[in-house]
Amino acid sequence: MKYLVLVFLGLVGLSHAADRPNILWVTSEDNSPYLGCYGDKLAVTPHLDKLASEGLRYRHAYSNAPVCSTARTTLITGMYPTSLGVQNHRSSVAIPADFKLYPQYLREAGYYCTNNSKTDYNVAGAGNKIWDDSSKKAHYKNRKPGQPFFAIFNFTSSHESQVAPKPGKTEFRIDPKEMQLPPYHPDTMTIRKDWANYYDQITVMDQQVGDVLDELEQAGLAEDTIVFYYGDHGGALPRGKRNIHDSGTRVPFIVRIPKKWQHLAPAQPGEWVNDLVSFVDFPATVFSLCQVPIPSQFRGMPFLGEKKTVRDHVFLYRGRMDERYDTVRAVCDGEFRYVRNFSPHRPCGQHYTYPFDVQPSMGSWYEEFAAGRCNDVQSAYWLPKASEELYEPESDPFEIHNLASDAEQKARLEKMREVLHQDMLSTRDTAFIPEGMYEKLAGEKTLYEFAQSAAYPLERLMDIAEAASSRNPSHVPSYMGALTDKDPLIRYWATTGCLILKDKAAEAKEALKPLLQDESLDVRVVAAEALSYLGEKDAALTTVTEVIRTGNTYESLAALNTLEYLWRAGHITLKQAQEAVQGLTLKEPNNRIPKYLLSLSEK
């Protein structure tokens, strides 16, 4: 019976192709709205400027996450990855079998779906098989006669790997000496050259987009196709990608809707749209445009078509990126951005091996900081974060003035704090589950099913995690009571609260010691780092070294991160850190930290 229904849907799709638009998504990687049509006077982007004149420019469009795999996972699932446990970069986590990915629904409805060509999803088993074709040759031209299509073309010319000038390049469209640097970057010629080269790459990307649009026109399909152009997350240079600020999450987004479908548009061609939109909304919007039922698990709101809905804020998130852990959540209402740092003891600028390898500007910035040549704004990236951040991007476009302690913003801060709290509760956010515990807690179920169940004490966890991230020593007695809780997640966050306070949690020292033998290796690692600030440096090193060598992939990775921070805090020597990782055979991303530590020498 199910087979007959699918055949019927396919026949209906073919017979009514003319009644439904084709959808073309053109994606560029790692770029904020650095386009002429967005008012950037340094940009040369004639093809996208033309597209904007024919379409709609969204002023407040956001990638829910500031890194590629999580951004794509948001898109492909139509859900918040934080509900599914797939928010960590380059992970592979199972989701419920009945949660199909959006190309599967579109194909069942008769659409020919192609992806050219990046997949990069954090969902186990997702990849090429969900598409009619996903490859560097994938193209809508290979569909059946009269069949509507959904097609993606993805360009990497603006990716962070392309920021650095190629060897021998000496000529730039913009003289590096004339570049306008953001206030958070120190003024070095290396950083200036990376910015100048990046703008050259944006122009290369613009030409590639133009070629795709020209091909659509020449095929006679432009009047039957709704075009989306967007960046997959914020800009490629340091403090863009991986950061939850505007520079990491706000993207250029242009939609061109042909005349025959103009009744589905919220404005006239060439106009701005001030509606808030985010990636979780994109699949639901496509389904609205294509007359496909929106699955019940989708969390997005359609912003085009007959089912158009206007949202009042967007929900943003980040977890592990590359080899570094940092749990951050945020909401943005178009006027203000509120950020909650659940790992305020870690800086934004951790040593991510990949950008340090491919972007000279990252290393140049850190060298300036280490040499004491950065001002307070430039130094902030490399220092522990505030527990809460509040910004007004219109008056502070670089988000360098944190208003969280401004008495005049107290009511707004409390309101946005509550909005974020409710978003995390309603979506059953898995933020509070260490990656190393996933399989042990979920068992035979998916992590989503575990997080939706009563076995996940989310309200208690949020209370203790919010207290922990506040850096308030008055919470230490409550942590001490929670250190013996039967739930490893409660113990983990109580221990984290002690770690964040460092020596201010001295009264918890004796209560922390037994956790060096906790049944959860993730708890052991946090307890070890917390105790290293309370005089137990040798015990901390012993515990962390043991977890590095005996834990699962993510327990080991957490321990490797802690090993580096023990060294950075001066609790162990570089030689001790190097001995702890000597001889290890690890795969990415775990091998990056040992390579980094072993490459250093005592100064």
Tokens representing residue 554 in the block:
């993510």
Q: Residues 236-250: pLDDT tens digits?
A: 999 999 999 999 999
Separation of alpha carbons 74 and 66, rounded Å: 11
Binned at pLDDT 50, 70 and 90, residue 17 comes out as low
- Model confidence pLDDT, tens digit, residues 514-527: 999 999 999 999 99
Burial class (CB in 10 A: 0-12, 13-18, 19+), 148: buried
- Domain residue ranges in the chain: 2-332, 337-412, 432-599
Q: Do residues 248 and 234 lie in contact, with contact meaning Cβ atoms separated by under 8 Å? A: yes
Q: Residues 198-212: pLDDT tens digits?
A: 999 999 999 999 999
Per the structure block, which two tokens stand in for 35?
């386009």
Whole-number Å distance between alpha carbons of 520 and 518: 5
Query: What is the distance, to the nearest Å, from the Cα of residue 558 to the centroid of all Cα atoms in its chain?
Result: 19
User: Would you place residue 128 in the very low, low, confident or very high pLDDT band (cuts 50, 70, 90)?
Assistant: confident
Query: Among residues 68, 113, 290, 332, which one is catalytic?
Result: 68
Q: Which CATH number fits domain 2-332: 2.160.10.10, 3.90.1150.10, 3.40.720.10, 3.10.20.740?
A: 3.40.720.10
- Residues 232 and 27 sit within 8 Å (Cβ to Cβ): yes
Question: What is the pLDDT of the chain when averaged over all its residues?
Answer: 96
Kindly report the pTM of this predicted structure. 0.96
Is CATH 1.25.10 the right assignment for the domain spanning 432-599? yes
Q: How far apart, in whole angstroms, are the C-alpha atoms of residue 116 and residue 99?
A: 23
User: What is the reported pLDDT for 15?
Assistant: 39
Region of residue 593 (phi > 0: left; psi between -120 and 50: alpha; otherwise: beta) = alpha
374 is catalytic: no
Report the pLDDT averaged over residues 449-464. Answer: 98
Query: And the tokens for 225?
Result: 């196709």
**What pLDDT sits at residue 18?**
64
Query: CA–CA separation, 206 vs 24, rounded Å?
Result: 16
- Strand-pairing partners, residue 329, are 317, 340
Ramachandran assignment for 334, one of left (phi > 0), alpha (psi -120 to 50 degrees), beta (any other): left
Query: What is the helix, strand, coil percentage profile of the chain, to 5?
Result: 45, 10, 40
Tokens of 132: 């009619």
Q: Is 78 helix (H, G, I), strand (E, B) or coil?
A: coil
Q: How many Å apart are CA 432 and CA 204, to the nearest integer? A: 41
Q: Quick check: 54 and 104 in contact, CB under 8 A? A: no
- What pLDDT does residue 1 have? 39
Interval 21-74: pLDDT, tens: 999 999 999 999 999 999 999 999 999 999 999 999 999 999 999 999 999 999
Angle at 485 between CA 526 and CA 497, to 5 degrees: 35
240 backbone dihedrals φ, ψ, rounded to 5°? -95, -100
At 285 the pLDDT is 98
Pair 18, 8: CB distance under 8 Å: no
Residue 602 pLDDT level (bands cut at 50, 70, 90): confident
Q: Alpha-carbon distance 286 to 292, whole Å? A: 8
Query: What band does 599 get if pLDDT is binned at 50, 70 and 90?
Result: very high
Give the integer Cα–Cα distance in Å for 514 and 521. Answer: 13
In degrees and rounded to multiples of 5, residue 183 shows phi and psi of -65, -20
Eight-class DSSP state of 138: -
117: preceding bond cis by omega (within 30 degrees): yes
Whether 577 contacts 566, CB under 8 Å: yes
φ, ψ at 527 (rounded to 5°)? -60, -40
Whether 555 contacts 547, CB under 8 Å: yes
Strand partners, 27: 154, 230
